[in-house]
Structure 1
Amino acid sequence: MPKVDCRLNAIVDARLADKANLADLARTAALNGATLIQYRDKTNSTREMIEQARPIGAALAGTGVPFVINDRVDVALAAGADGVHLGRDDMDAATARSMMGDAAIIGLTVKSEMDAQAAIGSPIDYACIEGVYETLSKHNPDPRVGLEGFARLGVTLLAAKPDLPVGAIAGINVQRAADVDAAGADGVAVISTIFAALDPAAAARELRSSVDKALREASQ
């Protein structure tokens, strides 16, 4: 299975289409520090998702930055994406792996100890602990885990899967990126911090710089 660099997981949400072309946003993030691009769409039809995902994949060609689809294995396969990011209500990772093959990237959202235990036995390439801070990008019925919860879940995962990259998601900005990296994260996943900025390219560079600095300091 591939080794995933999850230092900066830039999530291109379908709602950003009101702001700019999604493929252009994805390429901008990839050229300015993102190490993983994820397309997330909670409302459109399967056909519309595929029609959005294919240009994003094309825009990322030559950047070296992998492209995954949130939730939908079928869309990932149809769009030729590099992999999929799964939640607790999506297809299980073992089935996704059997359909997508060993070369595919499979990520998994972790929100609780139960999720963490399930992740340990799953054929995944990275995990993302959700709910570290409050988020405005979607309704999240689960309580936020905070930095202490993040550290606890990360320890559970890494004790059993020491080589598994673990990222943090929800409400992450530049300062919080440094905080979660200090708490053990290998990176962050964001939407607004990059794509709601007046200059997404500059925002991506600043966030990537913050993550890299925090990881260097954590390793000393």
Structure 2
Amino acid sequence: MNPYRLYLVTDDRQPIDVLETVVAEAVAGGVTMVQVREKHGDVRAFIERAQTIRTVLQGTGVPLIINDRVDVALAVDADGVHLGQSDMPATLARRLIGPHKLLGLSVETERQLFEAESLPVDYLGLSAIFSTPTKTNLIKEWGLDGLAGAVAQSSLPLVAIGGINAANLREIAVTGVHGVALVSAICQAPCPRTAAQELVRLMG
């Protein structure tokens, strides 16, 4: 199974009980990977949220990925960690988490995409495919052609992120990208399970 296909990134503004329900419903609807993101800098809260989601995911086969923080990933024994360009270097993160955990890296430019080929990572998050209101420091908008080019160029699995929703998902899927990462399309949906099912259907 392709674990990257429908990749849920959690909304750090949602209370932990809401998040718990959203993740459980989304996984029931077909989400294949979950990344817990916490941008507020409270490590204790991050660990608590990660442990809660780890419990939700137990027995589902869906990997738990921690955004940015290798220490949190190790603390909760997550399945992997996803790094940004300003986080811990991938080579050091790999030494710390070991050879069997998943390691993802965000790439925002052609140069970063090229440089990632020599790094000990398992997959790349390509952003942003389309500009979004939440991403104010956008470096590049790849668009569909840029995404298709990146898929052709990279030897690593690519996950597309940024402005992806039910309206453009079919076009995204046609590029051959391994998966899509979504936040609001699932987290803010009236029913996360139905939203995930519809997204899976659209991907074909």
Q: Percent identity?
A: 39
**Cα distance in 2 for residues equivalent to 1:32 and 1:168:** 20
Distance 1:137 1:70 in 2: 17
The alignment covers a number of residue pairs equal to 204
Higher helix share: 1
Q: Which amino acid aligns with 1:15?
A: R
Contact 1:5–1:165 (8 Å) recurs in 2: no
The within-5 A match list for 1:68-217 is 68-157=65-154, 161=155, 164-211=156-203, 213=204
Gaps of 5+ in 1: 214-220
Tell me how far 1:86 sits from its aligned partner.
0.9
Contact 2:105 2:125 in 1 (8 A): yes
Which residue of 41, 46, 51 corresponds with 2:43? 46
Corresponding residue to 2:27 among 15, 27, 30: 30
2:3 alignment counterpart:
5
Q: Match of 1:174, SS? A: coil
CA–CA distance in structure 1, aligned partners of residues 106 and 87 of structure 2: 10
Q: Which residue of 2 aligns with 1:217?
A: none
Whole-angstrom distance in 2 between the partners of 1:137 and 1:4:
28
Return the letter of the residue paired with 1:17.
P
Kindly provide the amino acid, as one letter, of the partner of residue 29 in structure 2.
Answer: N
Amino acid at match of 1:186: H
Unaligned runs of 5+ in 2: none
1:102–1:4 distance in 2 versus 1, CA, 3 Å: farther
Distance 1:203 1:80 in 2: 29
Tell me, in whole angstroms, the C-alpha distance in 2 between the residues paired with 1:49 and 1:81.
12
Residue 17 of structure 1: aligned partner: 15
Q: TM-score, normalised by structure 1?
A: 0.87
Secondary structure of 1:16 counterpart: coil
Q: Distance in 2 between matches of 1:147 and 1:13?
A: 25
TM-score where L is the length of structure 2: 0.94
